[in-house]
Structure 1
């Protein structure tokens, strides 16, 4: 028994999804707790009934697909829904739905209201594992083998707690609880990136692994990657490998996954970092490699900094000082923050200063104002906050780029 579920706001797009003509046939099932006969109006009514709940996602769309070799698939679906409603406390909750026939197989969709008449919201925490438990019970009762699941051990414990040792023993006897946990080849975000770029992740993994095995040091690894059309760059969380589409992938994660997938054992992240350490790499910004920015170094700012990069005092060392009570110089792009101005460039130049340069800068700073120690401490705290914000922003930009143009089954853009 295969099931899937998604929580959302509902809407006409979901009803159209349930009525989509690409199925061989479909049948609207009798609704519960709703007065409309048309599925679109049933779903609208369901959303309206749920408006009193303290949630912006009051609708729970669930589908179940019995396996092809099951004896009585209608009885299996009926049993599955009964156990499902009991598991989640959805007995009596309003729902509507449809049965689809596709490629000769029948599967059923239901859309439940998660808001009770009192306004309380049904708890669907850990819904994936709980639906898997329901499926294992139906499989046991219909004489099927259990579908492999990474939650097998947790399901076995839950079955014993629920008073179903017969199903738990069957699950253990099948070897499911002792089997290696199945791991998806692609995460949902990786799958979206692969579909958007047309670059297969396994191809990138294999090429990176070949370059790794063909080299003994950092420069050799970089050269071997270039022969495969890949490039090593500096990312926010460490070195990244950039493929032909400009998509960066964290080098330690990519090589670790490649070793696990093609050789059976992961390449340790520490080993990857040790080989790459010392290489001067170009920097990837905004989660993609569209502009091939040069490596960051101490010195004068570039035009890409967007701030006034004139050094304080007219000198050419590229590092200026702005007193806390004034707005002069602005070599770090600060003061009067404009849209698109980010502190990454200035921070990169400061980090790249040699030890002697940092000492000279510190000495100069300390002679400017007796209160500067407090200002420096405040600056350090601000810098840490900026770095945290930048990391969060980079993650959101990368996710938005990966999900660009993608909608959920309701037709609502995924953000």
Structure 2
């Protein structure tokens, strides 16, 4: 059984997600405790019913997807929901949802209200492992193999505490309690980075590991990275490997994860730091990595070996330095100015094109808005302000009052 859940604010976007047309079939469920005729109205009603609770995330979106090998898909889902509601105390709580059919496989989404009628909020502590426990019970009941989980030992202990020794014994016999804990290929943050940059993280890891293994010292590692269109910079948490899009990846994590996936032995972070110690690295952002515009236009391609091709180094000079994406350096550091002082700001203003300076001057000289602001400021300045004896604000500072001018 595959399940997932997310707690949130609700809203029309959630309802539209449940109604997305990419599925072969969408069947809106009969809601419980709600009167709205459509799913968007039902989700709005769930949120409205939850206004009395002390939470800003009053709804719980849950989905369950039985394995293809389960012949009685509706029966497995019904049992899962029954056990799930008992586990979290959600029996009787209002919900709405939809059943999706995609490629001949059915799965179900439900959106629950987490606020009880008396205003208390449903306890979702350790919700992932609790949902995993429910899934193991259903898998056992429907003759399925136990799905591997890093929480297998904790689930087995909990099942015995609840008197479900039959399921606990089945789980123990499956070997999942002794198996090596599965490690996700990508963390949620890494998945988002990969989707944003379009650079496969596995390819990047492979390129970094190859550069590591063909080098003997820090300088050799840097050269090996550059031959693959990558670079090594100094980040906030240590050396970072910069890919063809200018995105930084912590070197210790990238090399260590690559080695673990390649041969099961992780290269310790201390070993990576020791090899790179003594290198003088430019800070990430000082020379802006690569030409982002070129990457977005598709001129930065990915190499079969994992890193960007030579085109990823577009903008580098013969010495390997990365050229600026704009000549006047006005948009350095991911769009933020490099200079932070008043002199830097004035220099940038003076360096602007004449037409831009003229437009700025006309805006400052402009009409009524500036005149009214100046008049209001003069009016405030012309008043006499005196402290009101014995009256202070919440910080203990005297409160002043406006005394009209006499004569």
**Superposition TM-score, scaled by structure 2 size:** 0.71
Structure 2 equivalent of residue 304 of structure 1: 338
SS at match of 2:284: strand
Alpha-carbon offset, residue 37 of structure 1: 2.3
SS at match of 1:54: coil
Report if the CA contact (8 A) 1:225-1:232 is conserved: yes
Structure 1 equivalent of residue 237 of structure 2: 237
Report if the CA contact (8 A) 1:30-1:96 is conserved: yes
Alpha-carbon offset, residue 75 of structure 1: 1.1
Cα deviations by residue, 1:112-132 (Å, 9 ceiling, x for unpaired) = 000000101001111111111
Structure 2 equivalent of residue 410 of structure 1: none
Structure 2 equivalent of residue 392 of structure 1: none
Cα deviations by residue, 1:244-281 (Å, 9 ceiling, x for unpaired) = 11111111111111110112101111111111111110
Q: Is 2:156 the partner of 1:156? A: yes
Report if the CA contact (8 A) 2:245-2:290 is conserved: no
Alpha-carbon offset, residue 187 of structure 1: 0.8
Return 5+ residue gaps in structure 2 as ranges.
292-320, 324-336, 345-407
Alpha-carbon offset, residue 308 of structure 1: 6.1
Structure 1 equivalent of residue 98 of structure 2: 98
Report if the CA contact (8 A) 1:248-1:289 is conserved: no
Q: Is 2:117 the partner of 1:117? A: yes
Structure 1 equivalent of residue 76 of structure 2: 76
Question: Alignment RMSD, CA only?
Answer: 2.2
After superposition, where does 1:217-256 map in structure 2 within 5 Å?
A: 217-256=217-256
Cα deviations by residue, 1:82-124 (Å, 9 ceiling, x for unpaired) = 0000000101100111111111011111110000001010011
For residues 196 and 76 of structure 1, the distance between their equivalents in structure 2, rounded to whole angstroms, comes to 37
For residues 224 and 75 of structure 1, the distance between their equivalents in structure 2, rounded to whole angstroms, comes to 57
For residues 272 and 230 of structure 1, the distance between their equivalents in structure 2, rounded to whole angstroms, comes to 17
Distance 1:219 1:147, change over 3 A: same
Structure 1 equivalent of residue 87 of structure 2: 87
Structure 2 equivalent of residue 4 of structure 1: 4
Q: Which has the larger radius of gyration?
A: 2
For residues 82 and 36 of structure 1, the distance between their equivalents in structure 2, rounded to whole angstroms, comes to 24
For residues 206 and 197 of structure 2, the distance between their equivalents in structure 1, rounded to whole angstroms, comes to 17
Return 5+ residue gaps in structure 1 as ranges.
295-302, 311-415
Structure 1 equivalent of residue 174 of structure 2: 174
SS at match of 2:15: helix
- Give the paired residue count: 303
Cα deviations by residue, 1:278-334 (Å, 9 ceiling, x for unpaired) = 111010149x7469899xxxxxxxx93422689xxxxxxxxxxxxxxxxxxxxxxxx
Which protein has greater RCO, CA pairs closer than 8 Å, 6+ apart? Answer: 1
Alpha-carbon offset, residue 229 of structure 1: 1.1
Cα deviations by residue, 1:3-36 (Å, 9 ceiling, x for unpaired) = 1111111111111111222211121111111122
